Amino acid sequence: DAGVTQSPTHLIKTRGQHVTLRCSPISGHKSVSWYQQVLGQGPQFIFQYYEKEERGRGNFPDRFSARQFPNYSSELNVNALLLGDSALYLCASLLGTPNTGELFFGEGSRLTVL
């Protein structure tokens, strides 16, 4: 069975640009979460979507947005990139309702902002 897939795996952008990261959950999983992992730190929660609705949002600026599509895949968009946005962006899918916590993570999209 395919796990959580993310694309692209690596990308380099410059300050002020926009980026779109994509995630496909495990088949049958209806919830997708996004986390930002800055080097040397634990992952920080950005968003969770369940059944195409936003169910939770972390302490991130409005430059960060996301959506979930009818097939449960998801996109994370970041506008006006800053150097501090350089990080590993992790997508995780969840079988069941959002509050069970057993997330299945993809391998991440590593974003470098120059």
Pair of tokens at residue 87: 């990080």
Hey, what amino acid is at 50?
Answer: Y
4 near another protein, rule: CB under 8 A: yes
User: Do 45 and 58 contact (CB within 8 A), yes or no?
Assistant: yes
Out of 26, 94, 111, 113, which residue is the one contacting another protein (CB under 8 A)? 94
* Closest distance to another protein from the beta carbon of 60 (Å): 12
105 near another protein, rule: CB under 8 A: yes
Please report, to the nearest 10 degrees, the dihedral formed by the alpha carbons of residues 98, 49, 74, 22 taken in order: -80
Binding residues for another protein, rule: CB under 8 A, are 4, 31, 33, 35, 40-45, 48, 50, 55-56, 58, 90, 92, 94, 97-108
